[in-house]
Copies of this chain bind each other. A is one copy, B any other.
């Protein structure tokens, strides 16, 4: 009976894959690749640049991006069912962008797989915000500064932006310009760094909102900095 591995592949640069992630990907018989927004072939392509996956069996998991809870649950159930079939005879690795413990759908599927009596494990990786700090060449937080990771549009989002410490805003999707307008209104334009497509060929780095002149893509991280050398 096989194990289901959720494998974090980092944010874009295959060099950010961990040794363990490479080892797990290479040891599993099946690679199950989630697909939504085309993002998922990206996770596979990162993994393929660091591990030899040429002779692996690949299956695709079609995961919808919607807010209809029932439709999502039905999809997760079906996906788990399909994975359990594969786990009867093989270990299965699911490559996932960034770190799997931060906003990944994998956990919802893993729970269902475990309920059906199979083993599931996660393999930690580099989050998109650590990779973004790396790209900017500056720390996210120092001393006793808090660090707040905020999905765009979460409850009390505007108030959370007023917290002291560094704020990272993720998951803006197609609403980057809406967020930029809000940050400008709050006077945070010069304190916000923006990293689009971190670690990929088309990476763009903006030191402040004033440098952003056109639309931003799906993979964009906003870092609203507090970080000084004073704390």
Listed in ascending order, the chain A residues whose CB lies under 8 Å from chain B are 8, 10-11, 13-20, 22-23, 50, 99-104, 106-108, 111, 120-127, 129-131, 133-134, 137-151, 153-156, 160, 163-165, 171, 229
Query: In the complex, what residues of B have CB within 8 A of residue A148's CB?
Result: 146-149
If A142-B108, A144-B154, A153-B144 touch, whether A16 touches B100 (CB-CB below 8 Å) is no
In the bound complex, CA of A20 to CA of B10 (Å): 12
CB A173 to nearest CB in B, in angstroms, measures 12
- Stoichiometry, as copies per complex, reads 2
- Which single residue of chain B is at the shortest CB-CB distance from A199? B124
Interchain CB contact under 8 A, A137 and B122: yes
If A108-B229, A124-B131 touch, whether A13 touches B20 (CB-CB below 8 Å) is yes
Query: In the complex, what residues of B have CB within 8 A of residue A17's CB?
Result: 18-19
Most buried by B among A17, A160, A165: A165
Interchain CB contact under 8 A, B137 and A146: no
Query: In the complex, what residues of B have CB within 8 A of residue A153's CB?
Result: 144
- Which single residue of chain B is at the shortest CB-CB distance from A124? B134
In the bound complex, CA of A133 to CA of B139 (Å): 22
Extra 4 A-B pairs, beta carbons < 8 Å, given A8-B130, A122-B133, A124-B133? A16-B20, A17-B19, A123-B134, A160-B163
